Amino acid sequence: MNENKVAIITGSGQGIGKGIAERLGKDGFTIVISDINEESANRTSLELIEKGIESSSFVANVSKKEDLVSLVDQTVEKYGNVDVFVNNAGIDQVDSILNITEEDLQRIFQINVFGTLFGIQAAAVQMKKQGTGGKIINACSIAGHRAYSLLGAYSATKFAVKAWTQTAAQELASSKITVNAYCPGIVGTSMWDRIDEGMGEYMGLEKGQAFEKFAEGITLGRTQEPADVANFVSYLASPDSDYMTGQAVLIDGGILFG
């Protein structure tokens, strides 16, 4: 059994996932970096190790259940336990509702919706074996609270993530496993670069203008950094959140209220 608690973060080679990995590493967790991109996963894990954080990296495609089962199995083989599992991996899609194809839906649902469920299942099975509880944390979005024009498919997947979060919280509570979700807003990552580009094409805007247009509605007056999200995930991963489950919490600087 590893002396430290162990956290697995999917899609953590870059962006918000990397920020979460860095923060949980500072909190004392052993960090398992998982990403479909082997190069970025290895690079991020090495960066953590250079900072004195115990870390390993494993390649996994979250759309494949067997990959997530293997990810958990490899983690247990190396460290002995899984205490926190963060379903962070996800993709975006910008398109008119009239243009969305079956192939589009299959791709984004396979990663954002199926991938989250597969992660919940793989983590919960191991946590129940351990008998000491655990924390499953899912990536939702402001788009899981309100659907946005041109982000229909993405919004639909995030509403589904919120449903998985609530259902899993109810079913796993007896095993002392809590399930919650974080819902970011406008974060300066490569995902929002793609959203900005796609929306710019539809709206006739130059690069960066769509991003700025969305950012105008942030009450705190600035866009997010990955660390803003990671700070909240740190709470969800800590004992301080032990009495919290089934929640999908907005962490968006004040875009939506409720």
Evaluate whether 101 touches 50 at the Cβ level (below 8 Å).
no
**Segment 53-73, tens digit of pLDDT:** 999 999 999 999 999 999 999
Instruction: Please tell me the pTM assigned to this model.
Output: 0.94
φ and ψ of 2, to 5 deg: -70, 140
| Of 6, 4, 1, the residue nearest 34 (C-alpha) | 6
Look over the chain and give the mean of its residue pLDDT values, rounded to a whole number.
Answer: 94
β-pair type (177-184, 55-59): unpaired
**Percent residues over pLDDT 70 in the chain:** 98
pLDDT band at 166 (very low <50, low <70, confident <90, very high): very high
CB 104 within 8 A of CB 93: yes
Q: How many Å separate Cα 64 from the centre of its chain?
A: 16
Give the model's pLDDT for residue 193.
Answer: 75
Instruction: Give the β-pairing of 6-10 and 134-139.
Output: unpaired
Domain ranges (residues) in the chain: 6-186+228-249
Question: Which CATH code, of 3.40.1710.10, 3.40.50.12160, 3.40.50.720, 3.40.190.10, is assigned to 6-186+228-249?
Answer: 3.40.50.720
Going by the annotation, the residues of the binding site for NAD(+) are: 14-16, 35, 88, 154, 158, 184-189
Helix/strand/coil (H, E, C) string of the chain?
Answer: CCCCCEEEEECCCCHHHHHHHHHHHHCCCEEEEEECCHHHHHHHHHHHHHCCCCEEEEECCCCCHHHHHHHHHHHHHHHCCCCEEEECCCCCCCECCCCCCHHHHHHHHHHHHHHHHHHHHHHHHHHHHHCCCEEEEEECCHHHCCCCCCEHHHHHHHHHHHHHHHHHHHHHHHHCEEEEEEEECCECCHHHHHHHHHHHHHHCCCCCHHHHHHHCCCCCCCCECHHHHHHHHHHHHCHHHCCCCCCEEEECCCCCCC
First to last CA, the chain: 41
Report pLDDT for 79. 98
Among candidate residues 79, 154, 235, 243, the one labeled active-site is 154
Q: What is the pLDDT of residues 207-236, one digit of tens each?
A: 877 777 778 889 999 999 999 999 999 999
Binding annotation? 14-16, 35, 88, 154, 158, 184-189
Mean pLDDT value across residues 30-54: 98
Handedness of CA 13, 19, 20, 21 (dihedral sign): positive
Give the model confidence (pLDDT) of 119-136 as tens digits.
999 999 999 999 999 999
State yes or no: is 154 an active-site residue: yes
pLDDT over threshold 70, residue 2? no
pLDDT in tens, 167-188: 999 999 999 999 999 999 998 7
